[in-house]
Structures are given as C-alpha cells and as structure tokens.
C-alpha cells in the first residue's frame, strides 16, 4: 500500500517572549493557528482535525488543556488529539498529524504546540517530589552537564566550542523576527565571560524560558496543489524511544537518536547526510549539544562533530548551516520548541525563511529530543514531493 504524500502549506508562530501577559493560553495558541491558516490561504472550516502538543500539564497548571482549548482552535465538531512525549513533543505532534494525512484519514490537519511558561514555574513543574526518587531540583542543566563533560573528555574538544555555538545561534536569532532573545550587542567574549551555571555550561550557553506557540497546516496532494505558496514536502519522519536510565545507555550519543535518524534517511533515500542535506534545525538547549547531535545524526564521525562547529561549517553561511533560526538557545517555549525546529526546516525549503534563509535549501532536517535524551522525533522536508 502507498502512503499519501504530506505537504506543509502553512506555518505560524507567535513572537516568542519571556511573558505574554497580554493574552490567555487560548489567545496565544489562536494567534499561531491564525497565522498558519493565513499562510495556507485557508479558513477554520478547511481544517479536518487538530493535533496539539505541549510538555507537562504542570507547566501551566491545566490538566489536559486540549479540552479547554477546543473552542480557541476551531476544533468543535472535529477530532482533536493531544500528544505528550516530553521535550520531543513538538516534533512528535507534527508526526502524529502527518500520519493522519499519510493514512488518508484526513485531508487537512492543523497541528500546534505551545508553552506559556510565564503562567507558572517550569522548575517547580519538574520538581514535584515522589518517594525514592531524586527530584530534579537543579533543572535540566544539572542533568545534562555531566554528559557534556563526558563528550568533551571522549572527543578531546576544546573548551571554546560551546561558546562558539551560542555566539552563532544568538547572532542567527537577530535575523529571525519571532526569536525570543535578540541580543544586539552579543560578542564571543561576552558569552565566555557569562557566569558558570552547571560546569561547563555558562549562562549564555543555555536556553531561555519563553511563552510561545507554533502551528502548521499539513495537507495531502490535493491540498498542496491549491496552496498559494510553495509547500514543503515530508520526505521522511520517525520517532524512537529508549529507557531513561540503564547500565548500557550512552548519554553522549543515544542509540534511539541514531536509529531515528537512520530511519528518516532510509525513508528519504539519503545515503550521505553531510552532502545531501542543506541545513538542520537541531534541538540544542545547551550549546554543547550541537557538536554532540551532529555526530548522533550522522553529519560527522564520532568525536568529530566539534570540528564542524569550529571550522564554521554550521554558521548561517557555512556548508551545513545549523539552527538558522537561532534555535532553542534563543527561543524555548518547551512544548513548542520541537515543532519550531520542524516548522523552521519547512520554512527553509519553501524559501520563506526571510533574513535567515539558506540560499537554495532543498532538503532540511528538523530534530527534537526529550526526557533524559530518550525520546527522539525527526523529519526531513524537501522542496519537491517524494519520488519526484
């Protein structure tokens, strides 16, 4: 049997900021959805189903918010699914929505992910103690710093690599009007002089807490033919999960990430990702994860990822630009961050990325991960339909 090709014909984001006090959660998501519909030249009535994602409900203090958001997202009378796969959720949500189209269950699907972190405190949302388990009171940085140190030791990467990534991503963010952090006076020296939070992760090498939403309109061949702007076509998509903690786990390069990328490349017919892929939006919440994921995703051999970063390959004008939008390091509405990666990849192949557009981008990877580096979701989008 054959799958229906899936096209991205509409993308909408909010301007991501520390606190959107002017809108409710419903107002925030509606803003992104409305922009995606406008981009696709569609109205609410054209949407057959809604698939919504966000990270833990405790972040806003609303249990199963899809119930409350049904009206705001025009879902009344329609199917509505709520996906939750930790930090990878934005990507997984898009893939669940894509499956509805691929399976020919629905023709046009609105998918959306959000986080309104200012409604509560994410640190506390992650720190509800349960018996016999260590609460994550140090935040995510405390969890990931030891794995970064393991990477540095294993690869022999110089200590400056993390700062180079942060400096690049924050400069890229200046070209993205939706990015949260717009640090016009950023310099490499400032990044390196910022306070140490979780050795070796400095303040300027970590992601902010953002309010924001991202929406996409996914549709079938017929819908794509009617789209006013060029669609992005899904060439491959996959999810992989592995356990949080076990003796054989490689936190530096988890096998679930490698398997997930391999599945996506197989679907898309990619045999040499470094040459055949024109850019990547990779989930990098702490700067050192750029070189780590470059290896995990097959763009560099083991221990070599940092060399791409150091050589400027991942710069906006480099040979494999990474996080052209400024990435998670510049914008982090947690539940939406994965979908923003997926959407930014689609913007690139549609030629709609504005100032941070990579010239001639034809195939771009969107990547998300979550939990203790245990959940992965990815898609590869292109400027042409699959098998053409």
What minimum distance in Å lies between the beta carbon of 102 and other proteins?
Answer: 5
Q: Which is nearer to other proteins, 92 or 206 (CB)?
A: 92
The tokens describing 200, both together, are 């070796």
Nearer to other proteins, 54 or 356 (CB): 54
The whole-angstrom separation of Cα 133 and Cα 279 is 40
Nearer to other proteins, 116 or 363 (CB): 116
Q: Are the C-beta atoms of 13 and 178 separated by less than 8 Å?
A: yes
Q: Using N-to-C axis directions, what is the helix angle for 89-102 and 334-350, rounded to 10°?
A: 60
- Shortest distance in whole angstroms from residue 48 CB to other proteins: 7
Nearer to other proteins, 15 or 221 (CB): 221
Q: CA 267 to CA 380: how far, in whole Å?
A: 9
Shortest distance, CB of residue 292 to other proteins, whole angstroms?
17
Q: Kindly state the smallest distance separating residue 19's Cβ from other proteins, in Å.
A: 16
Task: Quote the crossing angle between the two packed helices 289-296 and 139-155, to the nearest 10°.
Answer: 60
Whether 161 contacts 288, CB under 8 Å:
yes
The Cα-based distances of 200 to 141, 260, 327 in angstroms read 10, 28, 20
Phi, psi of 113 (to 5 degrees): -135, 150
CB of 371 to other proteins, least distance (A): 5
Nearest approach in angstroms of CB 287 to other proteins is 24
Cβ 285 vs Cβ 160: under 8 Å: no
User: Given the structure tokens 């979701």, which residue do they identify?
Assistant: 377
Nearer to other proteins, 283 or 306 (CB): 283
Nearest to other proteins of 99, 118 (CB atom): 99
Q: How many CA atoms lie within 13 A of 212 on its CB side?
A: 28
């Amino acid at each position: 049997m054959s799958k229906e090709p899936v096209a991205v014909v509409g993308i909408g984001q909010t301007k991501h900021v520390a606190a959107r006090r002017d809108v409710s959660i419903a107002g925030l998501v509606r803003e992104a959805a409305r922009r995606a519909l406008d981009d696709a030249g569609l109205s609410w009535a054209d949407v057959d189903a809604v698939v919504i994602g966000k990270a833990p409900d405790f972040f806003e203090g609303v249990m199963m918010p899809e119930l409350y958001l049904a009206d705001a997202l025009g879902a009344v009378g329609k199917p509505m699914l709520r996906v939750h796969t930790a930090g990878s959720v934005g990507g997984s949500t898009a893939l669940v929505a894509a499956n509805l189209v691929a399976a020919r269950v629905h023709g046009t699907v609105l998918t959306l992910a959000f986080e309104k972190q200012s409604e509560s405190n994410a640190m506390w949302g992650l720190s509800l103690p349960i018996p016999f388990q260590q609460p994550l009171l140090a935040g995510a940085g405390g969890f990931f710093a030891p794995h970064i140190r393991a990477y540095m030791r294993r690869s022999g990467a110089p200590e400056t690599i993390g700062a180079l990534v942060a400096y690049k991503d924050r400069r890229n963010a200046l070209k993205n009007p939706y990015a949260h952090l717009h640090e016009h006076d950023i310099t490499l020296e400032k990044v390196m002089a910022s306070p140490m939070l979780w050795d070796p992760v400095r303040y300027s090498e970590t992601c902010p807490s953002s309010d924001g939403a991202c929406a996409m309109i996914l549709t079938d061949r017929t819908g794509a033919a009617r789209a006013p702007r060029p669609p992005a076509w899904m060439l491959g998509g996959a999810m992989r999960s592995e356990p949080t903690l076990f003796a054989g786990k490689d936190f530096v390069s988890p096998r679930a990430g490698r398997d997930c990328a391999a599945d996506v490349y197989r679907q898309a017919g990619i045999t040499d990702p470094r040459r055949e892929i024109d850019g990547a939006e990779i989930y990098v919440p702490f700067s050192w994860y750029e070189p780590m994921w470059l290896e995990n995703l097959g763009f560099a051999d083991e221990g070599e990822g940092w060399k791409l970063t150091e050589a400027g390959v991942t710069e906006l004008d480099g040979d494999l630009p990474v996080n052209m939008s400024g990435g998670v390091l510049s914008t982090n509405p947690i539940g939406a961050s994965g979908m923003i990666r997926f959407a930014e990849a689609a913007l690139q192949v549609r030629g709609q990325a504005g100032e941070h557009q990579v010239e001639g981008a034809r195939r771009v990877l969107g990547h998300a991960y979550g939990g203790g580096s245990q959940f992965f979701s990815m898609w590869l989008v292109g400027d042409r339909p699959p098998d053409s």
